[in-house]
Amino acid sequence: MDEYLAGIEQLAIVRALKASFVAYPIVNALHIMSIGALLTSVWLMDLRILGAFRSLPQAAFVALLRRTALAAFAGAVATGSLLFSVRASEY
């Protein structure tokens, strides 16, 4: 398992992320924003189901937020994978 994790750290994109002064903080910020977007969209869906935003049709509102939540989840997984891969053998 250690060899596999060390191999992940040797990927070109991971080495570039380690070497860059700006890329890691940008990926980290994108990760935090993705998690925030995911939580916000779920929170808004819950509020709509509980009766808030009654002027908006529930089906369309929830469908839009569901797509937003899925995109935010995908972004969080992608950026989280990059953040993990930088120090994979330590985790």
Residue 91 covered by a domain: no
Domain total for the chain?
1
CA angle 60, 64, 70 (to 5 degrees): 145
11 in a structural domain = yes
- Domain holding 23, by residue range, is 2-86
- Burial (CB < 10 A; 0-12, 13-18, 19+), residue 51, is exposed
pLDDT in tens, 6-52: 888 888 999 999 999 999 999 999 999 999 999 999 999 999 989 89
How far apart CA 4 and CA 90 sit, in angstroms, is 12
- What confidence score (pLDDT) does residue 12 get? 92
Residue 64 maps to a domain = yes
Which 8-state DSSP code applies to residue 79? Answer: H
- Tell me the whole-structure pTM to 2 decimals: 0.86
